[in-house]
Structure 1
Amino acid sequence: MSPKLDRTLTRKHDLEVGYFYFYKNFVISEIKEGMSITFENATEMLRLAKTYFGNTTPFVYISNRKNSYSFNPTAHFKTTQMFPNIKGFAAVVYDDMNRDIAEMEQSFLNVPVNIFTHLDKAIDWAEEIIVMD
């Protein structure tokens, strides 16, 4: 039997831009409806991620896209540089438009990326990525 990730929620944070659920080796984001995400207004979330994962704890970022929001995908360049320990990025989408956006985002990330329609499948994939590392 292969090793499994600890799926116990460490802590939920309700920030101005959205909800962030931190686990030992992954974080799930749910951005609030209508938000326009910038590198600047994501600073608090990035600070939290640095607190939980530092530069050495491997983790996967899971974007649970329940709501409609906007952001500049080039910000991915900055965030992946800040986190040498990020091992993957998953987008959970619920419609074709968000799938198209997630597919376009793949070109801005230098880590494995996958798109899902169910959150539990994204968590399973995160587990595979972390355990393989």
Structure 2
Amino acid sequence: MKFEESKYFNTLKTHKLTMSFGEFYFCEKFFVAEVHEGIHFDWDMIKKVMDKLVEFHGQGIKLGYISNRINPYSVDPQSWIKVDAEYNIIIASAIVYYNNIAFMNATLEKKFYKKSIKRCLSLDEAVDWILNIKELN
């Protein structure tokens, strides 16, 4: 399910950022990424999103991250180490997967990333988990 089609899009204050490689939704305590099919979500793309996120929320913000994998795409798992080093914004991440390949990719990313990553079967599960992280409350 796309974030825009979920109950959260209309109930949470959400800012939608449309980029050539995906849709990104900035909420008060988390942000959601929906990368387009076939994209290699590389450091340059990630940096553009992170810069917009800092511009929107301001310096020093702490957020949860939800990767809503509605489309197949690739990402270098080590990019998230760069995100932490350069931005230090993300407290924890949830990856919503819709098939076995996405689950295996999420498992691989979990091995590289030092912060908490939860693999979720639904957007509801991901949002609920993120909203209950003590560091965000």
Determine whether 1:26 maps to 2:36: no
- Write out per-residue CA displacement over residues 30-63 of structure 1, whole angstroms, 9 at most, x where no aligned residue: 0001111110122221111212344422210100
* Residue 8 of structure 1: aligned partner: 12
Partners of 2:111 and 2:67 lie apart in 1 by 16
**TM-score (structure 2 length as normaliser):** 0.84
Which blocks of at least 5 consecutive residues in structure 1 are unaligned? Answer: 1-6
C-alpha deviations, 1:55-76, integer Å up to 9, x for none?
A: 4222101000000111211111
1:86 aligns with 90
CA distance in 2, matches of 1:67, 1:50: 25
Alignment correspondent of 1:74:
78
Alpha-carbon RMSD across the aligned residues, in angstroms, is 1.7
- Give unmatched runs, 5+ long, in structure 2: 1-10
SS in 2 for 1:94: coil
- State the one-letter code of the partner of 2:130: A
Structure in which a larger fraction of residues adopt helix: 2
Matches of 2:80 and 2:136, distance apart in 1: 23
Distance 1:55 1:106 in 2: 26
Q: CA deviation at 1:21?
A: 0.6
> Structure 1 residue 91: deviation in Å?
0.2
Residue of structure 2 in register with 1:57 after alignment: 61
Task: Give the structure 1 partner of residue 123 of structure 2.
Answer: 119
TM-score, normalized by length of structure 1? Answer: 0.87
Identity %: 27
Cα distance in structure 2, aligned partners of 1:131 and 1:107: 22
Q: How many residues align?
A: 127
* CA distance, structure 2, for counterparts of residue 132 and residue 69 of structure 1: 28
